[in-house]
Amino acid sequence: MNQNKEESIDELRKNYEIFVFEMDDALESFIDSIVKLKISEVLPLDYSWESLNRIESICELYLDGKIFMELLPELFRTSIARYLGETLKKNMGGVWTFCDNPKEFAYGFPELGEIDNMNPKYAYNSFDTFDTFKIRRKKGLIRRAVESHLDYTLDKTNQKN
């Protein structure tokens, strides 16, 4: 998903709908391409919390040019974002939503919202997690970023209010 300021909200929403519609097939294809690399330390990709460390290793290898995948950088980014969001979804529930508020940082992007026990004002933007990792490259960042959303449970946010 590439956000272009000149894209209309209708175009952005259509991209979101395609993102969700293609989710299962795109993830299956992405995981198959990782399996074909035969790098045992990055497997299995089973949507567990532990697999987030393996996804981070894949990101490092890809960004360092140490593995070749027939994915353009934007498709790699989208595949990682899908995997991160689906991992949170499979472990905590939630649904993919579209951020249509132009005042929000995630405007025009898919987000994972309605996560079990999470304050409804919070949503998870998996694209942002990948983009942050790409810039900072700190070990453990991806898993910490995804798991940090566990801190926004209703009980904890209600205690802070």
**pLDDT of res. 98:** 94
What distance in Å separates the CA atoms of residue 103 and residue 85, rounded to the nearest whole number? 22
Contact at 8 Å (CB) between 36 and 45?
Answer: no
| Number of Cβ within a 10 Å radius of residue 64 | 9
Mean predicted confidence (pLDDT) in 140-160:
68
What distance in Å separates the CA atoms of residue 159 and residue 161, rounded to the nearest whole number? 6
Task: Please enumerate in sequence order all residues whose Cβ is within 8 A of that of 52, keeping only pairs 6 or more positions apart, or say none.
Answer: 84, 87, 142, 143, 146, 147
Which residue matches tokens 């026990």?
A: 117
**pLDDT of res. 151:** 63
pLDDT at position 46 over 80: yes
- Give the rounded percent of residues in the chain with a pLDDT score beyond 70: 88
Better-scored residue on pLDDT, 30 or 69: 30
Question: With 0-12 CB in 10 A as exposed, 13-18 as middle and 19+ as buried, what is 142?
Answer: buried
What is the domain partition of the chain in residue ranges?
9-160
